[in-house]
Amino acid sequence: MGHSAAVWDYKAATEITKDCDGFYKVLLRNPRGSSAKVCLHGGQVTSWRNEQGEELLFTSSKAIFKPPKAVRGGIHICFPQFGNCGSLDQHGFARSKIWTIDDDPPPLNPDDFHGKSFIDLLLKPSDEDLKCWPHSFENVNGKPFSFSFSYHTYLSVSDISEVRIEGLETIDYLDNLCRKERFTEQGDAITFESEVDRVYLSTPNVVAVLDHEKKRTYLIRKEGVPDVVVWNPWEKKSKAMVDFGDDEYKQMLCVDGAAIEKPMTLKPGEEWTGKVELSVVPSTFCSEYFDVQSSGF
């Protein structure tokens, strides 16, 4: 299983460090001031800063940075399941395993990665993984398998009451707060006044998250992941989580590119690729950009 984080000029601006717990982190820099951090524990993006040094991803002040706990924040890789089911840990095991850097990544199209940085990470099944989920996800053992997947993405926002999501209007969703009952989104945009935990189904390839107070918009472009998870725990659930501040729900919003409703099934020799691209634009430019991009990936 492979995972790439693309940011800027890799050769000139990549630093690999080891933290006090012995886990490696990769820091990607841009001469203009932008940066991103990727932790090999979980293959998780833990930071993304713009040229002004502002953090664009949310990480809880109470996040636990010791395995097997996944860090509360950033971007998690949820595989081979999203949610709770069967004998696996919540959201699967990929986010709690140690990923490795691919020293021999596949050839890339120079036009796609010109002027950007990237790091290719690999996760291979261990004997322990195969005991709880007996499938080689490199698909070399001759058996088909099914899985669900999510890029569980914590966005940093000014105030949840000042945020809206566009691009999911009239879309059906499963409401996890109502035993996964199916509803149709009725609003012109999604706004937040209470806990939300939904899986929007067969969504457009572009979704916009508008932060009115900061006058900026996250554009989420995706491929191979048809669904979108929208989650904010609100006050009561925030107080029940040991790795989450009581009031931090106000400064975060999860909007995930995911494949959940219809699990992916791979036969021997088949491959699947999922992709999510995050970008930030001033909200004043969002409408024109969103209209153009929503027609296709």
Q: Is 60 exceeded by the pLDDT of residue 295?
A: no
Model pLDDT, residue 100: 87
pLDDT tens-digit readout, 89-112: 778 888 888 898 887 766 666 566
180-207 average pLDDT score: 97
Q: Is 50 exceeded by the pLDDT of residue 293?
A: no
Q: How many domains does the chain have?
A: 1
For 201-214, b where at least 16 C-beta lie within 10 A, e where not — what string?
bebbbbbbbbbeeb
- 3-class SS letters over 128-163: HHHHHCCCCCCCCCCCCEEEEEEEEEEEECCCHHHE
6-24 average pLDDT score: 56
**Domain of residue 178, CATH code:** 2.70.98.10
The answer for residues whose C-beta is within 8 angstroms of residue 158's C-beta and 6 or more apart is 211, 212, 213, 214, 251
Model pLDDT, residue 72: 94
Model pLDDT, residue 66: 80
Owning domain of residue 39: 2-296
| Phi-psi label, residue 244: left if phi above 0, alpha if psi -120 to 50, beta otherwise | beta
Of the listed ranges 56-60, 162-166, 197-201, 291-295, the least confidently predicted one is: 291-295
Q: Is 50 exceeded by the pLDDT of residue 6?
A: no
% pLDDT > 70, the chain: 81
Chain-wide mean pLDDT for the chain?
A: 85
Model pLDDT, residue 194: 97
pLDDT tens-digit readout, 116-145: 677 888 888 888 778 888 887 776 677 888
Side chain identity at residue 115, one-letter code = G
Given a contact cutoff of 8 angstroms between Cβ atoms, the answer to whether 5 and 38 are in contact is yes
Comparing C-alpha atoms, which of 97, 79, 72 is closest to residue 266? 79
pLDDT tens-digit readout, 197-252: 999 999 999 999 999 999 999 999 999 999 999 999 999 999 999 999 999 999 99
Taking every pair of C-alpha atoms in the chain, what is the biggest distance, in angstroms?
A: 53
% pLDDT > 90, the chain: 53
69-93 average pLDDT score: 82
Is the alpha carbon torsion for 95, 97, 101, 107 positive or negative? negative
Q: Is 70 exceeded by the pLDDT of residue 13?
A: no
Comparing C-alpha atoms, which of 248, 252, 229 is closest to residue 239? 248
